[in-house]
A = this chain, B = another copy of it.
């Protein structure tokens, strides 16, 4: 498989959820919604799990591929659930294993929220 980017690059617009942090003050609801995503990445173990999925070849990884994070297996499952509930990961069972992959939209939204704010 070529490592070229022949797939539809997603537009860097971030209004999937919220405007850039510099545009205006977030409302209470916007902040509530956005905070869930940031909080999901606000734990070292979840961050490592997320980067393990994101950096795995094919863009997806089964739990068995990424469970070596230094915590027990139930804890891994717990954190993956959190990431899924935050909309950052999606899971799918295929036979024996459960595969996780990153949700590009959420990732792009968070990125736009920050990068467009950095140009102040």
Contact = CB atoms under 8 A, between A and B. Distances in A.
A97 interface: no
A20 to B, nearest CB: 8
A52 B25 contact: yes
Contact of A24 (B40, B55, B102, B108): B55
Contact of A21 (B26, B42, B43, B54): B54
Main secondary structure of the interface of A (DSSP, over half): helix
Interface residues of A, number: 47
Interface of A: 5, 9-10, 12, 21-26, 28, 31-32, 34-36, 38-48, 50-52, 54-55, 59, 70, 102, 104, 107-108, 110-112, 114-115, 117-120
